[in-house]
Amino acid sequence: MLVIVAPGQGAQTPGFLKPWLEDPVFASRFDWLATVAGLDLAHYGTEADAETIRETQIAQPLLVATGLVAALELFPHPADAFDQIGAVAGHSVGEIAAAAGARVITAEQAMVLVRERGKAMAQAAATTPTGMTAVLGGDREEVLAVIETHGLTAANDNGPGQIVAAGTMEQLAAFAEEPPAKARLMPLSVAGAFHTHHMEPAVGHLAGLARSVSVHDPRTRVISNRDGKVVHDGREVLARIVGQIASPVRWDLCLDAMDDLGVTGILEMPPAGTLTGIAKRALKGVETFALKTPDQLDDARAFCAKHGESSGLGISPTWRMVVSPAKGTFHIAADSADAEVLSSGTTIGEVASLRDRTVVAAPHGGRVVEWLVEDGDLVSPGQPLLRLHPEGGQ
């Protein structure tokens, strides 16, 4: 099982794009996305200093454009990618790159969204001095309790031993004076308290734009930052990307989902290293590949071939499939078990795990063609549960 991941803000370093832009095809495609974003991204990825590319409205489009064009280098025939990719995920802004890679939105739509996301988050951050501090080590429950005591938000939960606290600079200063036991604090070079209520104004702006964005259901499993669930409704993928601006990134739950899927290989798109580093600590025995420079592409393709297998979602048109969002036991809803036609939004059942119970609805509705599971079956994330035809379909 191969999972492709896209990094979030902070992964960029000065000059990281130089070797990539030596390829005229990459440079041409990158210039097109930069034009859509209205930014000289080639300059920012090659000549700009660390302080400049730290700026939210620059860093975010730079990361998404790099990931999207590098994906075309890795898979020159994009349709072939879905015979290998079992799932995709992105950390924070990386979710936009992941959504475009899964064909939920186009590359151009992704660049407009990330351009506006970066601008809106920068404006929100300018309202009140806020920031973020990484908490390394310590007892997890104690770390979360001390974060809450100081009125901060656990904005990123990145897995074992790494939680990021976010809030006002005053709250962070008090937190530094009374840190959790056996934990090391590392202030992050970011412009604001991302993934907290401080970003609510940016959510409203992006939500307004998102209403005009056409979407498709993903061609492979998309693992969501919100809760680690597999999402297979394009509208919900986009809604989660919008809401995620002001809600915590639960990368720990994304890692749990990858484990549930049986991942054997994780490949991180450039600028790579952060997410594969986390995966090495959290998912023992899983191979990782950090794609940093174009001279690694042949080895990266071999890595994909070694671990790749189709998610199975492309066998039939994805608009007529309802899939499981998580690992657990599936219980069919009594009202849906014998129904011949289901309306949009109808609950078809729920997936019960040791952690929670997740309701599963038919996002599009239609005529029931075939149940692919039975009541009480164990299911995995992204597993097809029900096949539907649109009403009136043959």
**Residues 234-265 as b or e (16 or more Cβ within 10 Å = b):** bbbbbbbbbebbbbbbbbbbbbbbbebbebbb
How many residues does the structure list for the chain?
394
Token reading at 316: 């039939």
Which is nearest to 176 in space by CA: 139, 146, 155?
A: 146
Give me the catalytic one of 91, 150, 189, 195: 195
* Residue 274 C-alpha from the chain's centroid: 14
**Residues 339-376 as b or e (16 or more Cβ within 10 Å = b):** eeebeeebebbbbeeeeeebebbbbbbbbbeebbbeee
Main-chain dihedrals φ then ψ at residue 262, nearest 5 degrees: 85, 35
User: Which residues lie across from 137 on neighbouring strands?
Assistant: 183
What are the helix (H) ranges across the chain? 18-21, 24-37, 41-46, 50-54, 56-74, 78-81, 94-101, 107-127, 140-149, 169-177, 200-210, 234-243, 251-261, 274-282, 297-307, 334-337
Token reading at 247: 């809600």
Which is nearest to 244 in space by CA: 139, 366, 121?
A: 121
Token reading at 219: 């061609």
Residue written as token pair 């200063």: 173
Give me the catalytic one of 92, 311, 324, 336: 92
214 flagged as catalytic:
no
Which is nearest to 253 in space by CA: 346, 343, 356, 153?
A: 356
216 flagged as catalytic:
no
What residues act catalytically?
Answer: 92, 195
